[in-house]
Structure 1
Amino acid sequence: MSRTIWIRVTATVLIIAAVLFLIRLHNAAGEVSSLGSEPTAGRRLAQAMCSECHTVEPNARRAGRTAPDFVAVANLPSTTTLALNVFLRSSHRNMPNFILAPDDADRIVAYIMSLKRN
């Protein structure tokens, strides 16, 4: 192959790689910006799955709950979106091992993070 063909093939591969990278960045940005509507769905999921042990709603106190309420969890200094995602996808001794779909976990995390006080 001549040098011109190699240059064209290399340029084509680089352009394709750049386009795929930009598409991936665009999709990732869309995922982050779509979390604005997730807290409502996350609250519903948390009510259905977590309210047996946790107080899910702010300003709702239930006697006899030993698990921390979601407002307290949200306001821990160590609580971040990443930390909550890791926590929800890990097994725990003193918690039921729910298997959450990734979207459901993201929604619950978005809800908990919406409870964080600035």
Structure 2
Amino acid sequence: MQRRFICFAVALVLVPALAGQGAAADRANGRRIAERWCAGCHVVSPGQSRGSDQVPTFAEIGSAERLDEGALRAFLADPTHSRMPPLSLTRSEIADVVAYIQGQRP
């Protein structure tokens, strides 16, 4: 009986910790995705010298108060309402790009 309790207690501690690690966004992967798919129009990193002056930079997007994490996720999940090309990103990739954008705040 005590052994079951110990196993249950360990599971209660470890499962949420492991789940949280798997859900963490990967900014480095977000940067790779942005450089591949977004840099043709957006300035996606401080070192980038070219981009369209018709679209905001990632630093501007990351600084916009109305574009919180939820708004960015929703937009990237369905960008068909904009001038952006249709992207087919997974939820994990969207989380990575959002984390990267939010990390570009000046």
Same fold, judged at TM 0.5 (above)? yes
| TM-score category (smaller protein) | 0.7 to 0.9
**Within-5 A mapping of 1:1-118:** 29-32=20-23, 34-35=24-25, 38-58=26-46, 60-62=48-50, 64-90=52-78, 91-117=80-106
Computing the radius of gyration from Cα coordinates, the structure with the larger value is 1
Q: What's the % identity of the aligned pairs? A: 27
Q: Structure 2 CA distance, aligned partners of 1:64 and 1:114?
A: 21
Residues 77 and 89 in structure 2, CA contact (< 8 A), matched pair in contact too: yes
Note the C-alpha offset of 1:103.
Answer: 1.2
Determine helix, strand or coil for the equivalent of 2:33.
helix
* Amino acid paired to 1:94: R
Determine helix, strand or coil for the equivalent of 1:58.
coil
Note the C-alpha offset of 1:82.
Answer: 0.9
Q: Give CA deviations for 1:11-46 in whole Å, capped at 9, x if unaligned.
A: xxxxxxxx9xxx5x55653345x23xx111100110
Summarize the Cα distance change of 1:69–1:93 in structure 2 as closer, same or farther, 3 Å threshold: same
CA RMSD of aligned residues (A): 2.5
Identify unmatched segments of 5+ residues in structure 2. 1-10
Identify unmatched segments of 5+ residues in structure 1. 1-18
Summarize the Cα distance change of 1:27–1:82 in structure 2 as closer, same or farther, 3 Å threshold: farther
Q: Structure 2 CA distance, aligned partners of 1:86 and 1:115?
A: 19
The aligned length equals 95
